[in-house]
Every structure is written in C-alpha cells, then in structure tokens.
Amino acid sequence: MNTASKESHFHHAHHFESAAHQYSSAKQGVWLFMVTEILMFGGLFVAYLIYKSLYAPVFHVGSSYLDVKMGTINTFILITSSFTMALGIYFNQKNERSKAIIFLAITILCALGFMLVKFFEYSHKIHLGLVPGKYFNNPEFVQKVVDFATNMQATSSAHQDIDIAALKKIAPLYFGFYFVMTGLHGFHVIIGACLILWVTIKTAKGHFGPEYYTPVEGVGLFWHIVDLIWIYLFPLLYLVG
Amino acid sequence: MAHTETHSHDYLNHQKGLWSWLTTIDHKRIGIMYLIVILFFFLIGGIFALLIRMELFSAGPTLGIDPGTYNRLMTFHGAIMVFMVIVPGIPSIFGNFLIPIMLGAKDVAFPRLNLFSWYVFMLGAIIAFASLLFGGADTGWTFYTPYSIRQPNGVIFLVLGAFTMGMASILTGLNFIVTVHKLRAPGQTMSRIPLFVWSTYATAIIQVLATPVLGITLLLLVAEKTLGVGIFDPTIGGDPVLFQHFFWFYSHPAVYIMVLPAMGIISELIATYSRKTVFGYTAIAYSSLAIGAVSFIVWGHHMFVSGQSEFAGIMFSVITMLVGVPTAIKLFNWIATMYMGSIKLDAPMLFAIGFMFLFTIGGLTGVWLATLGMDVHFHDTYFVVAHFHYVMVGGTLMAFTGGLFYWFPKMFGRVCNDGTARISWVLIFTGFNVTFFPQFILGAMGMPRRYFDYLPQYESLNQISTVGSWLIGAGFLVALFAVIHGLLRGEKASNNPWGGTTLEWLATSPPHHENFEKTPIVSVGPYEYR
C-alpha cells in the first residue's frame, strides 16, 4: 500500500483527507467496476452453458473449426501482457520511469498482437462463411453437425429422435456465440490498449511516481480482468471439442 | 434567477453562467441538472400517459389514432417513465444532492465521473428518443423476443438508449457505494448515517450488480436483430424465455432500485414531521439490504405463465412473498415512529402518509400476484397495471414529490407555499385512486393490458379511470406551479425550516459549495441534531 509522504508534490482532490485516502477510494471504485464487467460477461457465459448443453453437437463440431494454435498463441500473448502490465506498475512505484514506459509499451504491443491474430482468425472465418446466423454460408459445417448428431444418437443407449431440419437451422449458433463473445472481449482489448497508451503517455510526462500511480494500477486491474475473461473464453470456445 | 438576491456565498452563486453548470463537478449542481432533465422527461412521459387514458376513454377508436400509434405511445410511456424518470430519479437527484451532505463529505468520491454519468444519461436519452425517427418501437418497455426481433429498427435505438442509460446508472451507483464507504466525516459511523443514505446505498448495490446483466441482454438483443445470432430467436435455436429470464434478472431488482430510495425519503419525512427519532433505525437500515438481497432471487414471478418449470414457479412464488417481510418491517417501524409523535401535516408529511397508504395497497396486491394460481388469472390484465402503478406512482412518485417539497429549501434557499403543495397532494392522491383503483376491478374482470381497445362492458370503469388521470395531471401541474413559484417568489428559508434532525439541516440553505465551511465532527446519532 502506498502512503504519500508529507512533502509529496502530488495534491489530492479537495474532498479527500490525504493521497492515501484518495488512492483507496479510487481502488475500491475500480474493483466495483470489475464486478460489473464480470457480471456482464457472466450473462454470456450462462447463455453459452445453456446452449452448449442443449445442442452439444453444434458446439462440438464448432470448436473443431477454430484454430487451437492461434488461440494458444493469443493466450500466451495475453498472459505475457498481464506480466508486463504488472511490471509497468512496479517500475512506476519504484520511480524507474524509462523501464515503466518500456513494459507498458510491450503491453500495448501484446494487445495489438492479440488483435492481429484475431484479425487473421476472423477474416478466415468470414472467408469460409462461418459467421453469425443471417450471413452464415457454409453447408459443409452444417452437414458435419448433422453427421455428428446422427453418430452420437446411434452410439448412445437413449433413443431419441433428432430433428435434422431444426438442427440445420441451429448449427450457425456456435458462430453467433463465437463472434459475440470474442467480439465483446476484443472490444475490451482495444479499450484496454487505449487506456494503457494513456497511462504510458502520462508516465512519460512524469505524472506518476512512488506517491501517485493510481491510474496505472486501475488500468492494470482492468487489463487483468480482460486477460482473465480470455482465460475462460479460450477453453470454452477452442477446447470443448 | 432568484438566487442572485441572496448575499451569502453558496453553491448556486459560487460560479455563474450556463457553462459553469455544464462543466460543474459539484454533486449538488449535478443533482439539480438531473432534476431539470428528469422533470422534463416526466412531463413527456406524463403527456403520453394522458393520451393513453384519453384513447381508452371509450370503447373503439377515441382520439383518431391508429392502434400502432397507441402501441408506440404505450411503449414510450413505459420506457421513459422507467429508464428516464423512476430508475434515475431519486438516486440521481436527491442521492447526488444529499448523500455527501448527510455524510459530512465535501463531494461524492468521483466528482468527474459523476458529471460524466450525467452526460452518459443524456446521451442514452437522446439515442432512445432517436428511435422515433426510425419507426419508433411498439414492443412495450420489456422488449420481449421474438416480437422485438421482427420489428423495425426503431427498437434498436430504444434498446441502445436503455443500455446507455444503464451505464449511467451503474456509474452513479458505483460512485455512491465508494462515497458511503470512504467519505464519511470523522465520527460518522455506518450506524450514524441517515436512513435515506442506507436505502440509496442498498439501491446502489443493486444498480452495480443487476444493471450489467441488463446491459448484456440488450446487447444480445441488438446482435440478434442485426446479425441473427440465434440466442433469443426460436426459429434458429434460440430461447425467448431465456430473454425473459435475463431481462427480469435485472428488471425485477430494478423495481427495488425504483422504490428503495423512496422508502429512504419516507423514513426522513416521518421522523421530521412526527418530531421523533426514527423508531427501529437498525431494523429499517438492514431491511433495505434485505430487500436488495431478496430482490435478486424472485425474478421468475414475472414468468409464471411463460413456460418455466412448475417447480421454479413454486419456488419463485414462495421467495417472492419473503419480500413482504422486510417491507412490512419498514412500514411498522414508520407507524411506530408516528405513534405518540406530535404529527404536523405539512405537505411533505401528507405525501409520506399517502405513500404509506398506496404502497401498502400496491405491496399487498403484489402478494396476490405472487400467488401462483391467482397470477394465472391476473397475468397480463389491468390488475397488474394497477398493482405496479400503486407501487411506482403511489409509492415512488409520491415520495419523490414529498421529498422535493421537503428538501426544496435546502436546495434553493426558499420555501414552496405549503398550501399550494397540499392542494397538489389532494389532487394527486384522489386522482391516483380514481385512476387506478378501477383498474384492479377491470383486471379482475379480465380486461387485458396494453390493448388499444376493449369490450363494451369495461367502458364505465375506464371512463372513471380516465377522469382520474386528469386529476393526477392537474395535481402535478399544481405541484410544478408551487415549485416555480417557490423558486421565484418563495419565502427565504432558514437553515432548518422544518425542524429536521439530520446532518444536512446543519448546512446553510442553500449549502456552501463545499457543503460545510468546516468538516463536521460527528458525535451523535443520525437523528439527534436538535
């Protein structure tokens, strides 16, 4: 925990007693905001789980269409970026400005790298017509889902008829989930990158130091949440098959 | 402006000019800015309500509007009143203005975020109104799928508007939670904060925890309309009942976002005008939290006939009735506060008593509706319309109006004419019952809600109801007159015109721009500043 020294050049806002008071308030605010992020994605995760259990074949075949290699690279990139973000905060606390700038810059590069990989993945999917409902155009995928469901039914002991016509209509649902979940997450990555750029510039201008680094830490928390959500998205989307 | 006549240095004359208002980070000024825009939205929503009642005055077409227009009027009346008036109303206006003062703080924890919330709220309102340029929306404020998916793009704007205003609501709630935790004056412990702060604090928790779920629901609805992702659309594998689950997971707790702050106002009014310390402070404080907690696990009572499982229906029915317990705790404590008090029937107290009557009717009919078998009969009838208007209008808006007259002197340094305010109460209270009590009967007779037209046997009760709506309209106009007259010609207010016993009455009227010249050091209970 940081406590501001008396001779600090940093002046806290008029309605706080001290810099430490302001710091702890800001931190509580950021944590509350993190709660809202998790609840928002929570809605998506609940919907995912429901449909995953309702239409297992769709999700099974769907995930086999994702590129696990790309997903793994992105997971690695994001975990690395969380580490460099933490270092960016650490070196701000230690007043080593140039090191802080380097690690914050690496974090931004990681974010861009993540989005670049996502761009390749997205364009490949769009090229194949593997997109949400209205624009979906990939009969081969639909056929695979139907085949898988028929096989599953043949091997299972419980005999229930599957509605092939309905299943064909449902098949694109997987890519609805894929694009909405990764899209919303990607949006957060972009916002996060912009915020990190903002604190990097402020670091370069010398706004932060051992007495005051609240924005860096707040942005860092946000970045970790973005990372954490991906840690859940990756297995749910790429590895379930 | 009236306040230029005052010679003291206060938040109103601290800085001058429109620009100083639009860029202010003073929580009191932001509260006033919310007051102005929310009163404006209330006027629009109220006009829509009067038009709806006019159309229903007689069976068959009455106003010469087509049923589609009627549906849009009904939708916008609901959306405006919910998302722009009742949800933001009390927290954004009175919460902003009063919470820091009641805590002995100089401002909310994040003043710039507070101003930002106001702009986000305004942006959301503009997006919502832009819907009218794109064919409007006739889905009702609940946007049920699959109907909303098949409607024109106006629905997207209204949905995105609601989403944006939800963000403002989250940010306001977040600000209040941190303010209550971090900015209490020295000695101002949690057991020394006024009950209004407790109830807005409980509200803020709901705002922060429930609104994000509405956010993702509305985003998914937009994705469903634009991309056809298939999460809510039954023709491509989606489940419309899931939409209802998601929607009510927010919108039921939102009902308590609407009414908890009102209960906070009532606690303050009853204490002041009974000349007594609130009876059962702890019980009332914790019952707010209890209502907030239970509110999260009752959403299924909106869906008894939607096709959710019978077992879920039974559970939701039982849990819903639990809400009655903390609510009754509040009501009995208020009555116990009044008992042996020297009650003064000034206008704000009349509104508080009106709240207790009407909210009790609204609450008890809520228990009927929570009863599984009865709900099957009452579902989607005017009984439900009457029930929630008794809670939202008879409850929240009565408290709001009472609170406005009560804190008006603190806000503007002038007093509204009490006689005029009492006349407005008589009109609103009478008109309200004339409007909505017949709707209980209509609903029990089976008249469905939301329809443009009805069978001839419902006509006479509908006519009574419409006449009542004119009385309500007249009542709010009188209240508006009292407020404007108070602003321009009102008597100068002393710091404590009502003999209030909470901390905010120690501040000057209107307060200094930092609330107190010197940060107060609190050494007494919440209702002991005499």
Label residue A181 by pLDDT band (50, 70, 90). Answer: very high
pLDDT of residue B6: 45
A136: alpha, beta or left, given left = phi > 0 and alpha = psi -120 to 50? beta
Structure tokens that stand for A228 in this block: 């954490």
Residue B493 located in a structural domain: yes
CB-based contact (8 Å) between A29 and chain B? yes
Q: Where is B23: in which H helix or E strand?
A: none
For tokens 């940010």, name the residue. Answer: B171
One-letter amino acid of B98: L
Does A222 score more than 80 pLDDT? yes
The answer to whether the CB of B441 falls within 8 A of the CB of B400 is no
Residue B521 located in a structural domain: no
pLDDT of residue A134: 85
Helix H segments across B149-235?
Answer: 154-182, 195-227
Residue B262 located in a structural domain: yes
Does A6 score more than 50 pLDDT? no
CB-based contact (8 Å) between A45 and chain B? no
Burial class (CB in 10 A: 0-12, 13-18, 19+), A127: exposed
Residue B416 located in a structural domain: yes
Rounded CA gap, B279 and B269, in Å?
Answer: 13
B143: alpha, beta or left, given left = phi > 0 and alpha = psi -120 to 50? left
Tell me which of B182, B224, B249, B514 to substitute to probe the interface with A (most A C-beta atoms closer than 10 Å).
B182
Query: Which residue among B107, B215, B227 sits closest to A133, beta carbon to beta carbon?
Result: B227
**A15 Cβ neighbours under 8 A, 6+ residues apart:** B100, B105, B106, B107, B108, B109, B111, B183, B514
pLDDT of residue B464: 97
CB spacing of A37 vs B212 below 8 angstroms: yes
Residues of B at the A interface (Cβ-Cβ below 8 Å)? Answer: 100, 105-111, 113, 170, 174-175, 177-178, 181-183, 208-209, 211-213, 215-217, 219-220, 223, 227-231, 233, 235-239, 242, 246, 514
Residue B258 located in a structural domain: yes
Domain that holds residue B58: 2-506
Query: Which residue among A43, A55, A180 sits closest to B223, beta carbon to beta carbon?
Result: A180
Domains in chain B, number = 1
CB spacing of B174 vs A13 below 8 angstroms: no
Residue B328 located in a structural domain: yes
Q: Which chain B residues touch A225 with a CB distance below 8 Å?
A: none
Does A139 score more than 80 pLDDT? yes
Residue A47: alpha-carbon gap to chain centroid: 17
C-beta atoms surrounding B166 within 10 Å: 26
The answer to whether the CB of B213 falls within 8 A of the CB of B250 is yes
Label residue A10 by pLDDT band (50, 70, 90). Answer: low
pLDDT of residue A158: 64
Residue B372 located in a structural domain: yes
Helix H segments across B323-379?
Answer: 324-338, 347-370, 372-378
CATH number for the domain harbouring residue B342: 1.20.210.10
CB spacing of B229 vs A133 below 8 angstroms: yes
Residue B299 located in a structural domain: yes
Q: Which chain B residues touch A14 with a CB distance below 8 Å?
A: 106-107, 514
CATH numbers and ranges of domains, chain A: 27-239 (1.20.120.80)
Rounded CA gap, B294 and B274, in Å?
Answer: 30
Interface A:B, Cβ pairs < 8 A: 124
The rounded percent of chain A whose pLDDT value lies above 70 is 94
- pLDDT tens across the length of chain B (530 residues): 344 444 568 899 888 899 999 999 999 999 999 999 999 999 999 999 999 999 999 999 999 899 999 999 999 999 999 999 999 999 999 999 999 999 999 999 999 999 999 999 999 999 999 999 998 999 999 999 999 999 888 999 999 999 999 999 999 999 999 999 999 999 999 999 999 999 999 999 999 999 999 999 999 999 999 999 999 999 998 999 999 999 999 999 999 999 999 999 999 999 999 999 999 999 999 999 999 999 999 999 999 999 889 999 999 999 999 999 999 999 999 999 999 999 999 999 999 999 999 999 999 999 999 999 999 999 999 999 999 999 999 999 999 999 999 999 999 999 999 999 999 999 999 999 999 999 999 999 999 999 999 999 999 999 999 999 999 999 999 999 999 999 999 999 999 999 999 999 999 999 999 999 888 999 999 999 88
Q: Which chain B residues touch A16 with a CB distance below 8 Å?
A: 183
CB-based contact (8 Å) between A44 and chain B? yes
Residue B491 is given by DSSP the state E
CB spacing of B178 vs A39 below 8 angstroms: no
ipTM: 0.92
Does A5 score more than 90 pLDDT? no
Q: What is the 3-state secondary structure (H, E, C) of chain A?
A: CCCCCCCCCCCCCCCCCCHHHHHHHHHHHHHHHHHHHHHHHHHHHHHHHHHHHHCHHHHHHHHHCCCHHHHHHHHHHHHHHHHHHHHHHHHHHCCCHHHHHHHHHHHHHHHHHHHHHHHHHHHHHHHHCCCCHHHCCCHHHHHHHHHHHHHHHHHCCCCCCCCHHHHHHHCCHHHHHHHHHHHHHHHHHHHHHHHHHHHHHHHHCCCCECCECHHHHHHHHHHHHHHHHHHHHHHHHHHCC
Tell me which of B28, B120, B216 to substitute to probe the interface with A (most A C-beta atoms closer than 10 Å).
B216
Average pLDDT over residues A151-172: 81
Rounded CA gap, B46 and B44, in Å?
Answer: 5
One-letter amino acid of B310: E
Residue of A nearest to B184 (CA): A16
pLDDT of residue B172: 97
Lowest-pLDDT choice from A113-122, A204-213, B423-432, B474-483: A204-213
CB spacing of A14 vs B107 below 8 angstroms: yes
